[in-house]
Amino acid sequence: MSLQEYPLSGGDRRFLEARIESRTLPQTLLLEGGAEERRHALALYLAAAIVCTGNGARPCGICRACVKCKAHSHPDIQLYAPEKKGSTFKVEVCRAIRQDAFLQPNDGVCKVYILEDSQAMNDSSENALLKILEEPPAGVYFILTCDSRSAMLPTVLSRATVVPLLGAVSAFSEQTLETACALAVAAAGGNELAILRESASLEKAREEIRQVLLCLSEIFAAALKQKSGGTAEEAEYAEAVGQLVHTLTKPKIYALWKNVQALTASAEHNANLNLLLTGLCYRLRQATEN
C-alpha cells in the first residue's frame, strides 16, 4: 500500500512522502475529515512508516516491525479512542499517555500514539496533552484524528501539522463565508454597529446561524494558530484571519473562539434564535474589550 491509495491532495501527499523518506515526519499530526475508516487506515499507515526498520520505501511491509504492524501487535504503536461513540475522551487517558511517552520504546527507537476521534476531548483532556505535544520526547509521535479542526482547541492546533483528507474542507456557502468573514472583521475592529448589521441577516435562519458559527470557529482557530507562529492555509478567509492577527492579541482571539464554541453548543440544543443572535453580538464585542 502507498499514499496514492488515500484521499489526499497532491500537495499533502508529496509532503508526507518527502517527510517519510527523510524520516522527518512532524511529531504531531492531525488527520482531519474524510471517511472515518480512511482516517483510521492512514493513521496506521503513517505509524507503520515511523517504526519501519527496512531500507528504501517505508513502510516496507516485510521488516520485523512491519510484520507486527500488519498483525496489529507492535508494542510501540498504541491506539486510543473514546470508550464508546459519542462519549468524551477521558482526561485520565491523556494523563496516562503523557506519562508513558517518557518511557523508552519496547521494540525500536520510536513510539507512536494514535488518538482517534480526538474531537471528543474536552478542554481538560486537550490541556492534559498540551505540554507533551509542544515538546515531545525524541522519537515520540502523536497522530490525532478528528472530523473537523474547528472542534479542536486552537492551542492544540498550533502544535500540530494538519493533514486534511479530501472531503474535509468545510462546505460553507458563499453567503455563510461572507457573513462569517464580515463578523470576524467587525469583531477585530470592535465595531459594534457592524456586528449588529451583519448578524441581522440571520434573524430568520436557524440553520444559517449554525453554519456561520462553525465558520467563525474555524476563522478564529486559524487566526490563533497564525498568531502562534503557524500558517493559516485557508485562502477563502485569509483576509479576515489577517485582520484578526494584525489587530488583536492572542488572549482576545482565544476569547472569541471560546465564546463562539459556547454559542455553537447552544445552537445544537435548540436555544431560542433571538437569544442566540443577542448572545453572538454581545460575546463578539465583549471578547475584544479592555
Q: Where are the domains of the chain?
A: 3-164, 174-287
For the stretch 204-263, pLDDT in tens is 666 678 788 888 888 888 888 888 776 655 667 888 999 999 999 989 998 888 888 777
At 216 the pLDDT is 87
CATH topology of domain 174-287: Zinc Finger, Delta Prime; domain 3 (1.20.272)
Core vs surface per residue 179-203: b (16+ CB within 10 A) or e:
bbbbbbbbbbebbeeebeebbeebe
Cβ-contact 176, 160 below 8 angstroms? no
**Average pLDDT for the chain:** 85
Regions of the chain with pLDDT less than 50: 168-169
CATH topology of domain 3-164: Rossmann fold (3.40.50)
**What 3-state class would DSSP assign to 23?**
coil
At 210 the pLDDT is 77
Fold equal for 3-164 and 174-287: no
Rounded distance between C-alpha atoms, residue 59 and residue 41, angstroms: 13
229 torsion bin: left (phi>0), alpha (psi -120 to 50), beta (else)? left
Cell of 114: 494514535
At 170 the pLDDT is 52
**Angle at the Cα of 35 from the Cα atoms of 32 and 6, rounded to 5 degrees:** 80
pTM of the complete model: 0.65
